[in-house]
Amino acid sequence: MLPGVGVFGTGSTARVLVPLLQAEGFEVHALWGRSEEEARCLAKELGIPFHTSRSDDVLLHQDVDLVCIYIPPSMTKQIAVKALGIGKNVVCEKAATAVDSFKMVTAARYYPQLLSIMGNTLRFLPAFVAMRQLLVEGYVGDVQVCDVRVYGPSLLDQSYGWTCEELMGGGGLHIVGSAIIDLLSYLTGARAHRVHGLLRTFVQQNNLIRGIRRVTSDDFCFFQMLMVGTGSAGVCCTVTLNFNMPGSFVHEVMIVGSTGRLVVRDTQLYGQRNGSKSEELLLGDNGWVGPEAKEMPLPFLQGLSSMVKALRQSFQAHEERRSWARGPVASAPTFEDGLYVQTVVEAVKQSSSSGEWVCVEVMSQEPDPNHNLCEALQRNKN
């Protein structure tokens, strides 16, 4: 039996997610928005019976068994941890910091019977599922290089907000890079041990953000990750993110190995073995009949749709509304994956400011809050 759903957020993802949930048979009972007005408008538009701007009203709503959290990163941890504490299943977007991610991991470990997954939808995109399968089957041989590029228009919101602020979880690295970091560990089965990065904010002001306000989040980000892989030399990942390209959308993930390569462009999978003279289309785009969303690129949209399908399969296997089967969502990123991703993001930022390679060390215990304070003070000083 499918659980009732409560959705946090009124942004572009929530707007796309709700109809997808409804199409799969989920009932969305409650919507939370930052303001009553935002919540009321979207609830009306999407046919959600209850709306509020108080988070407890959704978390404690008796018909809500699954909470989907798509709100600014700095608010995510608080809602996610509380939802688990109340006994609700959670799907959520990334948090703003590794410390927040660590707290989410702690909560998820404490309630292992509850579903707790990060909403990186790329893992569910059929092209990447097929790519991973082919990698396991040895299509490319030993993986040598992963080369990723995502180009598109600005990620900034229309008005000044968290997307403009590096410390609030804004920027290409945090918003898009996170999904790529997670995807590459999913595809290769390896994790980054050293990273090097360069972040830039080329557009610090625009027509809407001006005066004393400046954008601090990156609109160009390049980073490299060295991963421990199957090849003797390890895997080199290079990721280029450029969000100063209005009118474009390029989403390309290429994996080169000793005997061939695979590449996903947008939502299609291509491959070429070393002996072959040309690329072959391995998985086309046929069959996509979902909604179109202007603000959400197709790989994320299709991935989101696949994730919702997986959630349906996971829940409908059981009679009880809150029970779920692990199988259909086994490949989803856990909160532990979320902590790893956030750790890499912070290491890349650190590398960009120091100019040096930075080791990725995933937190294993919560840092002393006083130590954090010292770091924050020092950061402000520089």
List of residues contacting a second copy (CB under 8 A): 144-145, 147, 149, 196, 198, 200-203, 220, 222, 224, 231, 233, 236, 238, 240, 242, 244-248, 256, 258, 261, 272, 274-279, 355-357
CB 302 to a second copy: min, Å:
22
CA distances (Å), origin 266, targets 23, 165, 300, 305? 24, 28, 9, 15
Q: Where are the beta strands (DSSP E) in 216-301?
A: 220-227, 235-242, 250-257, 260-265, 268-273, 280-283
For residue 364, the minimal CB distance to a second copy (Å) is: 25
Burial grade of 194 (CB within 10 A; 0-12, 13-18, 19 or more): middle
Cβ-based neighbour number of residue 259 at 10 Å? 12
Give 239's Cβ-side CA count (13 Å radius).
Answer: 30
Q: 112 or 247, CB closer to a second copy? A: 247
CA–CA gap between residue 342 and residue 335 (Å, rounded)? 10
Residue closer to a second copy (CB basis): 86 or 236: 236
Nearer to a second copy, 33 or 260 (CB): 260
Q: Which residues pair with 50 in a beta bridge?
A: 30
As measured in angstroms, the least distance from the Cβ of 213 to a second copy is 18
Virtual torsion, Cα 142, 283, 277, 239, nearest 10 deg: -50
CB of 179 to a second copy, least distance (A): 20
- Give the nearest distance from C-beta 201 to a second copy in angstroms: 8
Q: Write down the least CB distance from residue 140 to a second copy, Å.
A: 10
Residue 135 makes CB contacts below 8 A (sequence gap 6+) with: 143, 187, 188, 255, 262
Range 367-374 contact pairs with CB under 8 angstroms and sequence separation of 24 or more: 367/99, 372/99
Q: Please, which residue, 60 or 250, has the CB nearer to a second copy?
A: 250
Smallest distance from the beta carbon of 216 to a second copy, in angstroms?
13
Nearest to a second copy of 22, 144 (CB atom)? 144
Asked whether the beta carbons of 339 and 98 are under 8 A apart, the reply is: yes
CB nearer to a second copy: pick between 123 and 261 = 261
Alpha-carbon gap, residue 73 to 92, rounded angstroms = 10
Burial (0-12, 13-18, 19+ Cβ within 10 Å), 58:
buried
Q: Which is nearer to a second copy, 245 or 363 (CB)?
A: 245
Query: Shortest approach of a second copy to residue 222 CB, angstroms?
Result: 5
Strand order in the sheet with 66-69: 50-52, 27-32, 4-8, 66-69, 89-92, 116-118
Comparison of 141 and 290: residue with beta carbon closer to a second copy? 141
DSSP state of 258: S
